[in-house]
Structure 1
């Protein structure tokens, strides 16, 4: 950032004549948390005990008259108590003070604040105006005295906090004079250079109000550069539909930069799904400024020279404004579009990127295969009925989840279907008009089906992707008036395959019977559930045509789910889950519904077939994360193999914007690679650092990328962003203040391009995701760019437990399941209770095993004994009281890599204990086994082992049972086969069984 301000500095000098008082940096010369970020430097040149200053501070903050002013003696640093204010407004401040050191320099701090609340979510509170002056000094003031001070400088604590030049306001008189000179009634257009992002929305900057109103813009660009500029539209009346169109840019030889190479980010583009869109209208309220960010993708093969054309800004109210555009193209070619100079806003073109949108198959998945009505994918099959819905869903994973079985696991008792029940209790039977496949590709198969009778028509459009995700659009049209007692959507599971459940207010674990649930999107991020067993399951989610992904991770209540009107039906709808006859039925119902002829309802839903792939246990044993920025030799000595670089570190300081210190990051990664280590970085989408170069360009897009909210938070946000945002994570030491993204937006296009750039240019080996605020479309794109050209593309997902009020009581695994096909490991996480929750909670919500993943523990270091029956440890060096290295040592000495994990949940597990509350998982290899035993018994107990020696593959006559000594885990011991083994409450034991 320092280089950016230096580059801009020379450009600012031309503005000093307008401002009269120079704006300078204080070079972090005072403590902002008590004095604020801004001060005036005044020089007292008079006599006596009363100094008067009139400060033309031209500030943009609301209600400046209510804020405290602190005056400090520059010689001593002492605060001056005898002060008084007169006229205080945004344009100027009239101040009297006692010059305690006589003639000389004094500092006037005019926005002091204090931070309240959590250190990582501070609330900057501006100190209120007050009176500390002595009565006798106040009585000595001559209110009519002329100023006897000179205002030498307006200072910000540093460059980053400066208001200059785009937040230095024009006065009301200057603005009125400008409007009068303009002779316009509707709007004025101010062309502006990309190096001066338009920041204020309700005032004009001083930079714009002197001289003539420009009708042209001139810029310089290199061949191939992603060039941008701004058009600031100042509304003189309410405008509903501001737009801009461009002409070709043409040089004197008739060579063109065509219209197709030009765009305006504010009026349209390409969304995160790769679909083109146009804004229907851009409203601008009277007295407000709307920045239009315009771009020109200069062709690489363009002829150098001056290219001229027009940008025409229009509104249905009044005349259009034509701005002459002149771009001088040099004979130099910009490297990679100029994106290596992002302070020039060259990366804004990333917002319209379609990189990695093709639904190509991602390893380890295989191309889809269609045979008649059956679609095969990795480890799974879906057979369709003629109505378009699944007749059967099969998986072919073993119970151990380490391979495939030849025998299918049938998930459904009968096909998924709808019922339309009349008021008399009879069903309206719909006849299928046929199933038609409309798209057949390796990554996606789509189909349509029609179902109709004389009363209703149900049109089905659906697709299945290579990872097991299926999306259904179900359009129900009334062909005549009808009253229905109920519309139900039935998913009939086979009882034995519906052992576990997660969602609809249920923590992960054994499925309760029955579950009765009602819609409550205002407080609960719940619209479906996962139901299944370890090696076969189905997640489903109910939606309508207005579905928008809500916010999550502490912010759900600020942008919750939209209530699906069809399914919820005015709070009549809900979901019942439980045994019904021979099946376990998920009954999704609407209750009574009256339809008029022509009415349309959308009963959309998604399905996700689990597991996604077998477990890669060798990755778990051989890939050991070190979650801290540290000396690489120190990290390597621990036995870790992958370094996770969090944000707020020297090489990745700014949250979710890992571009500014990329040279330091590359040097660190290069060194890590030379030592045989891989490096992943923190980078996700949910909130964005205020240090992002594009902050105000994104702000100009309204709520497309920045979420609406009440504002507040750290002082920088209040002083520069202003209002209507959600303040997010803050890092005190480096003053990194983030704001929350709105959800699904073009920022995901930028994110994909950014990850591509980091993979190619910095050499990252993957990413660490701290919760996820994007959907599976973006996740697939990210996986593609991270794994390009043989890169490892390791993705590691952390989540704090989402089952709380702020997060809408959703289960982390349920919330993020759509991303699981592309993850390499889970880290679940803060607020997960590893002591009070049962083994099936571990299995479903923490371990990742039913989905083909493995994980690690976090909160309080986890429970090492319970973790081991799922192959989990905690992560280095996150917890001081739970170092995983002693267990790693046992893994290595036993030779766990290459072993087969046979969990307690498998009917093939060769070891069980005599206490059903004490569970055993076996890690088996030829001639030896590592047995992990963990207790959920309510007190200390003793158990014996029931061992199936044939399954274990060990001759019992030659077997020895050894408990190796493990620091902070267990003491060493030997056991005979029939010995009782003492197991402490909430702990366990690791045993190595091998032949002598």
Structure 2
């Protein structure tokens, strides 16, 4: 399949046309062959013509290379017949020039000079190979015969790239030093301006292209656009003679008679924009001497504007430089571009998405009601209530009828004299009062400390506090801590604080090793998740991104966590330890909380919305559909969604796939997230012009395409090899918030509207709940019924249920468990970290298929046809039982519930009940490493069954159990880490 590099079918044509039409007459030396050559020879070659056989021939070419260390690569020269040249004698090799002798040449004809061969890695993951080492030295007897002055000269026919995507031409063909010196001698300005069309994104930031030598700098830009188009173009600024500090640009309007495109319709993305939470910002741009800064500019053209040529100016300057004014001329045609240009990537119209505020509003998402005021200092959420104490912290937190707190939450500043006695809140202000969010601020003062507090509550039960402490005197603090006192009956389970999901210990203390920045304490009916915050990044802890240690809480590792049971309550303390606060010093403590469960469990969805997840072959068969598959996850790295986190390349193929699945009554969710970004991103050069706002910095390396084009200042990430095109080689996004979130959100809406997808499959993402909330709103408002599916690798996220808890209000399904060892986990660990049940969600198993027997205790199966470590995991036999029993109509009563009507006689053997009128399905699971024989304690009255007319019947289930029957009261043998599915009927 020929690789498409745009959503537009005309994009390949544009590239071919431009590669021909825009080459200088005297230098038509760049092309792409009809058929790519063998990948291991590298992505670039020079085509040479030799007119006669000879002992040796000379190459002397200006190859104008931008990549680094050209002399450290292997050179291979092959005749068109396939014969490889034996000897290569290097004379001069650098980025500008290559001069060498090669031979013997037994035949005249074409010779192909490959100068970037590398080791091909035919898999996925992380590219860990590289270029081949330089060739062996030539034979001594051949080299001694060389007389360079008399050698036959090989003629350069062409520089070729293996594919169009690999091409350097024209924006990565460097100018020679002599050419740069010449242009500097002709133009005395501190900086030079090179206008560029969007068709030629400026790629090099430390070199100027040969193209600019030929065109010269200019203060005139001319472009052509259509009505309703968001038109993009570039002004390249070259710091010719000095460092440029605080580069700025200012626009006039564009006018044609009485018609005008006002100045506010012109945007420079490099000098400012709108952040991911709706806040405008100005960005400082500095440019070192000899470097290039592309300024990407967008013009928002109305669909109602009269056609014609509009003119105006862009003025550019920096500190201590003279202003330069570029004359802008934009010819607008009569045609109205229906979609602003977004379906044709070459237009770069989607750059405006960087400044989008889509999904940012003050309305709750559809599953949550507006915040209500129930009384003095009492607020209602959906199924939850909060009552404030006089101190400004929660006195009461209820989930439905379950009270969580034993007494008010407190923030304690302790000195040698004891706890500081703070005044009641004063200067109280309501900063925001909307259906979704309420924000209040206050001040409290003690003898030594002033607190400026900001508290936020949200409609889904999320709570945040930011406290700025200011020392009124020199203070020696013994400790500064947060105390959360739970009613003793609530904390059955916990996770975090250096613990996996477990029962709450009598006492446990933890430090910041890990790091561990969040925890959850509660039971299946009520609980609190809490995260300690400090740095700018508030997303989950990943292998790529980790929140900084909150300096205030960490306090040079004096801080930590403690949970202990005492005097009828379970108290959680987050302490920061001793510190000195000189008079006037300020320090901020921040934490967030979320009340759980975040919603009521959708059992019907769990048992009927069955997933087909097969990355390379995403199409379910007829048999798969007959088994009840309802949702297809379209991963990346296949023909329909080839490139990671950028599903705008093969849009036509994806649309075809989605339509076919919809015809079969299947929903399709796609892999599309933020963490790394493919090198196939159409706007990658515009994004790179933003510095490290979106693309992360790094030491370079990785797959050769990255080394040859990005060259430096990036960090390689996920790699996917393709047999028929250049590999998908991603780079890491910058940690923390960026405008790429805005682009991502707009891209999601575009995909729903144009491809008709049904939601997202999220795979370890780096944004926080604010972005997930925007996603949820866009899904619900654009196409109701869309779904969000969250997957995590345990090794990445240091406990996904802890790290992603703040996402849970907006998620439909969990798929945790990559790296989990299901056969080694306790029942509590399963419940808290895998199942999602205490949070109001349910999930599927993952690593090696999980454990099909124990999984049924939590209503979980693996996804079909998931395979890990060579193990094929088939849930369809279990699904068959589900359908036979019509489990979606049953009441699920887990073993963790006190009301569960079936108990076993052994603590390591658990039973979960699926209850229906006149019929019950019992799931039994043995968590012990040896066989157990147990009896069942059955509350027949609760089940509405007559014990004298009931039998225990285990049906035949493939790869699960053989058929068996027991009379009531008979003992049941359960193998180690296995179980039974038994009808009680």
Tell me how far apart the structure 1 counterparts of residues 542 and 175 of structure 2 sit (CA, whole Å): 41
Aligned counterparts, 1:411-426, within 5 A: 411-426=404-419
For the pair 1:141 / 2:134, whether they are aligned, the reply is no
For the pair 1:767 / 2:760, whether they are aligned, the reply is yes
In the alignment, which of 64, 75, 78 is matched to residue 69 of structure 1? 75
Tell me how far apart the structure 1 counterparts of residues 25 and 491 of structure 2 sit (CA, whole Å): 74
Q: Which moved more, 1:453-462 or 1:263-272?
A: 453-462
The structural deviation recorded for 1:957 is 2.0
Tell me how far apart the structure 2 counterparts of residues 48 and 836 of structure 1 sit (CA, whole Å): 71
The structural deviation recorded for 1:624 is 0.6
**Deviations for 1:396-421, whole angstroms, at most 9, x for unmatched residues?**
2xxxxxxxxxxx21111211111121
For the pair 1:194 / 2:198, whether they are aligned, the reply is yes
Paired residue for 2:86? 81
Query: SS at 2:55's partner residue?
Result: coil
Paired residue for 1:625? 611
Aligned counterparts, 1:521-536, within 5 A: 524-536=514-526
Query: SS at 1:755's partner residue?
Result: helix
Paired residue for 1:42? 48
Number of aligned residue pairs: give it. 966
In the alignment, which of 922, 930, 934 is matched to residue 913 of structure 2? 922
What RMSD in Å do the two structures reach over aligned CA positions?
1.8
For the pair 1:589 / 2:575, whether they are aligned, the reply is yes
Q: 1:426 to 1:849 in 2, by over 3 A?
A: closer
Tell me how far apart the structure 1 counterparts of residues 297 and 770 of structure 2 sit (CA, whole Å): 27
- Say if 2:609 and 2:631, in contact at 8 Å, map to a contact too: yes
Tell me how far apart the structure 1 counterparts of residues 782 and 424 of structure 2 sit (CA, whole Å): 50
- Say if 2:227 and 2:303, in contact at 8 Å, map to a contact too: yes
Tell me how far apart the structure 2 counterparts of residues 867 and 571 of structure 1 sit (CA, whole Å): 39
For the pair 1:878 / 2:866, whether they are aligned, the reply is yes
Tell me how far apart the structure 1 counterparts of residues 845 and 544 of structure 2 sit (CA, whole Å): 24
Paired residue for 1:389? 393
Query: SS at 2:775's partner residue?
Result: helix
Paired residue for 2:675? 686
Paired residue for 2:837? 849
In the alignment, which of 164, 171, 176 is matched to residue 171 of structure 1? 176
Aligned counterparts, 1:32-431, within 5 A: 32=39, 34-75=40-81, 77-115=82-120, 119-145=124-150, 148-184=153-189, 186-236=190-240, 237-251=242-256, 253-279=257-283, 281-371=284-374, 372-396=376-400, 408-431=401-424
The structural deviation recorded for 1:393 is 0.9
The structural deviation recorded for 1:51 is 0.7
Aligned counterparts, 1:397-476, within 5 A: 408-433=401-426, 435-476=428-469
Q: 1:581 to 1:725 in 2, by over 3 A?
A: farther
Q: 1:870 to 1:530 in 2, by over 3 A?
A: same
Q: 1:5 to 1:182 in 2, by over 3 A?
A: farther
Paired residue for 1:512? 505
The structural deviation recorded for 1:211 is 4.2
The structural deviation recorded for 1:437 is 3.7
- Say if 1:503 and 1:526, in contact at 8 Å, map to a contact too: yes
**Deviations for 1:569-604, whole angstroms, at most 9, x for unmatched residues?**
233222222224432222122222222332211111
- Say if 2:57 and 2:151, in contact at 8 Å, map to a contact too: no
- Say if 1:388 and 1:435, in contact at 8 Å, map to a contact too: no
The structural deviation recorded for 1:119 is 4.2
Tell me how far apart the structure 2 counterparts of residues 868 and 509 of structure 1 sit (CA, whole Å): 19
For the pair 1:860 / 2:851, whether they are aligned, the reply is no
Tell me how far apart the structure 2 counterparts of residues 829 and 333 of structure 1 sit (CA, whole Å): 50
Q: Which moved more, 1:580-589 or 1:65-74?
A: 580-589
Tell me how far apart the structure 1 counterparts of residues 567 and 185 of structure 2 sit (CA, whole Å): 81
**Deviations for 1:442-496, whole angstroms, at most 9, x for unmatched residues?**
2112222321134221122111111111121111122233222221211112222
Paired residue for 1:652? 641
The structural deviation recorded for 1:23 is 0.5
Q: 1:99 to 1:323 in 2, by over 3 A?
A: farther
Query: SS at 2:606's partner residue?
Result: helix
The structural deviation recorded for 1:193 is 0.7
The structural deviation recorded for 1:14 is 4.3
The structural deviation recorded for 1:428 is 3.7
Paired residue for 1:742? 734
**Deviations for 1:862-905, whole angstroms, at most 9, x for unmatched residues?**
10000000000011011354311111111111121211110001
For the pair 1:607 / 2:614, whether they are aligned, the reply is no
Q: 1:553 to 1:569 in 2, by over 3 A?
A: closer
- Say if 1:632 and 1:672, in contact at 8 Å, map to a contact too: no
Q: 1:933 to 1:9 in 2, by over 3 A?
A: same
Paired residue for 1:976? 967
Q: 1:888 to 1:174 in 2, by over 3 A?
A: same
TM-score normalised by structure 1 residue count: 0.94
Q: 1:601 to 1:874 in 2, by over 3 A?
A: same
For the pair 1:791 / 2:784, whether they are aligned, the reply is yes
Q: Which moved more, 1:461-470 or 1:835-844?
A: 461-470
Q: 1:326 to 1:551 in 2, by over 3 A?
A: farther
Paired residue for 1:897? 888
Tell me how far apart the structure 2 counterparts of residues 789 and 710 of structure 1 sit (CA, whole Å): 41
Q: 1:831 to 1:716 in 2, by over 3 A?
A: same
Query: SS at 1:125's partner residue?
Result: coil
**Deviations for 1:240-277, whole angstroms, at most 9, x for unmatched residues?**
211211111111x1321011111111111111111111
Q: 1:503 to 1:107 in 2, by over 3 A?
A: same
Paired residue for 2:564? 578
Tell me how far apart the structure 1 counterparts of residues 620 and 895 of structure 2 sit (CA, whole Å): 40
Tell me how far apart the structure 2 counterparts of residues 225 and 28 of structure 1 sit (CA, whole Å): 36
Tell me how far apart the structure 1 counterparts of residues 426 and 66 of structure 2 sit (CA, whole Å): 65
- Say if 1:115 and 1:122, in contact at 8 Å, map to a contact too: no
**Deviations for 1:794-820, whole angstroms, at most 9, x for unmatched residues?**
111111113xxxx4x721111111111
